[in-house]
Chains A and B, each alone.
Chain A
Amino acid sequence: MTANGGRQVMDAQAIQRALVRIAHEILERNKGTDDLALVGIRSRGVYLAERVRRAIHEIESGAPLVPFGVVDITLYRDDLDRGLQNPQVKGTDISFAVEGRRILLVDDVLFTGRTIRAAMDALIDFGRPQSIQLAVLVDRGHRELPIRADYVGKNLPTSFRQQVQVRLAEADGVDEVVIEG
């Protein structure tokens, strides 16, 4: 149990191991880093994408860092009318050509799939990628769209009402995944 009643399901070491394994799987599946680019979904997907990028760089010593971008899905959400307060737009930053590239989308939790749908729409507005793959730290189920992850850190069975909190050192001062409720 954590201080506020949640149950920790991954600690810092478990998160790090999962990301290194995902980095290996990405390299194995794509046979290297040619044409590969990492895109993190704001905000915690960005930190995870940066970590996977570093892990890939360490495994493939000598290879250049793969291109890296950020998508903000605020403008692509399908729930702006649903009573949620308008989140601050922090901006999308994709400075490489998307056209023909193999894009690896990174996010913290895969749940309904709606964020990923929005992120793919955002990406495709920049050009036609050769492919889009998805890496997530946690897959908690309950999909509402036909979307699946190619690389999963941990499959986590949850009830729909539970909350999965991913905390990362870059934003929260600690690395952990916690189930609440």
Chain B
Amino acid sequence: MAFTQRHLLGLEGVPADEITTILDTAASLREISERPIKKVPTLRGKTVINLFYEPSTRTRTSFEIAAKRLSADTINISASSSSASKGETLADTARNLEAMRPDALVVRHPASGACHLLARYVSCPILNAGDGCHEHPTQALLDLLTIREHLGRIEGLTVAIVGDVLHSRVARSNLHALRALGARVRLVGPPTLLPPDLARLGAELHTNLHDGVRDVDVIMMLRIQRERQGANFFPTVDEYAQYFCLTEEAVRLARPQVIILHPGPLNRGLEIASAVADGPYSVIMDQVTNGVAVRMALLHLLVARSKVEDVGEGASETVGEPEPVRRRTGARA
């Protein structure tokens, strides 16, 4: 099993086999949420702090449920109720939290790179729950798990990511991960919301919705992020919807078995028609269910393992074992 990350700051540069390890672990953990007792003792006695400087329902709840299903204690801090409103810097907040010995920090912040900054100040694993317009790795991982679950693979698929690509951390994380696993990626949107630089990361750019979704296996819709749009990137909301709203007509241009994803929250009638969001191709609710499993997998991989470095070699019964992962029959029973 391959997994060497200390933090989950982003998916850029994470090798394909480590992404696959996360997805395989998540797939095994999904079963726990179907049990009568939805809890395992894995992270008993561990503390996970959710530090959210931006509003969130889905991601924060999903992280909290994931930690609780692994028996960790969770604490939620939102910017409005924290010392950030008294002018404390992010680094000072992090140092103070660190002093209370958490076992993981889940961070959402409006500034790109905020999680990378924190990783320099704290020793516990940091899980990026979305930083500015940079990355939202857990969202991309749950998207990949959903695609793999429905279509059986990632490699060789064509995925159209449609909408406000410029402001989308979801699009960037997905682009890195989908390319790493061998999918073709098309980015689709009006020229003002489509940064040409992303072509260098291996994406095809389309400014026409119908061309962009033709014959694709997956359509991944993005939310129009009006809260991040300082300037006017399109003349009116109605005009945007006329050209880029995903309607049933546009869906018919894709492959017959196409699936449609959306990270939420939905702007119904703006980027996605209600008939499509609630239609037979939509896997949006599966994404939400898989989100809990992916976050459980990451907490398990990052937190249950995080003491290994402290203990080091020698304390282990498997010293000198060429394959330490393989179960050694005599070592324990």
**How many angstroms between the C-alpha atoms of A36 and B32 in the bound complex?**
24
Contacts known (A72-B28, A85-B308); A115 close to B3, Cβ less than 8 A: no
Please give, as numbers and ranges, the residues of chain A lying within 8 Å of B3 by CB-CB distance.
86
- Establish whether residues A126 and B42, one from each chain, have CB atoms under 8 Å apart when the complex forms: no
At the interface, is chain A mostly helix, strand, loop or mixed?
Answer: loop
Q: A residues 72-95 with Cβ under 8 Å of B?
A: 72, 75-76, 79-93
Is residue B329 contacting chain A, with contact meaning CB distance below 8 A?
Answer: yes
**How many angstroms between the C-alpha atoms of A86 and B28 in the bound complex?**
15
Q: Which of B300, B317, B329 contacts A89 (CB 8 A)?
A: B300
At the interface, is chain B mostly helix, strand, loop or mixed?
Answer: loop
- Establish whether residues A88 and B333, one from each chain, have CB atoms under 8 Å apart when the complex forms: no
Please name the residue on chain A nearest to B309 by beta carbon: A83
Is residue A39 contacting chain B, with contact meaning CB distance below 8 A?
Answer: no
- Establish whether residues A113 and B333, one from each chain, have CB atoms under 8 Å apart when the complex forms: yes
Interface locus among B33-41, B240-248, B266-274:
B33-41
Please give, as numbers and ranges, the residues of chain B lying within 8 Å of A82 by CB-CB distance.
311, 315-316
Please give, as numbers and ranges, the residues of chain A lying within 8 Å of B318 by CB-CB distance.
84-85
Give how many A-B residue pairs fall within 8 Å (CB-CB): 112
- Establish whether residues A75 and B329, one from each chain, have CB atoms under 8 Å apart when the complex forms: no
**How many angstroms between the C-alpha atoms of A166 and B330 in the bound complex?**
9
Q: B residues 21-47 with Cβ under 8 Å of A?
A: 21, 24-25, 27-29, 31-32, 35-37, 39-42
- Establish whether residues B313 and A83, one from each chain, have CB atoms under 8 Å apart when the complex forms: yes
Please give, as numbers and ranges, the residues of chain B lying within 8 Å of A43 by CB-CB distance.
327
Contacts known (A83-B308, A84-B318, A86-B304); A91 close to B329, Cβ less than 8 A: no
Please name the residue on chain B nearest to A41 by beta carbon: B333
Is residue B252 contacting chain A, with contact meaning CB distance below 8 A?
Answer: no
What are 22 sample pairs from A and B whose C-beta atoms fall under 8 A apart?
Answer: A75-B32, A75-B70, A80-B305, A82-B316, A84-B318, A85-B305, A86-B300, A89-B28, A89-B300, A91-B31, A108-B329, A108-B333, A109-B329, A113-B333, A125-B35, A140-B330, A140-B333, A158-B330, A163-B328, A163-B329, A165-B330, A166-B329
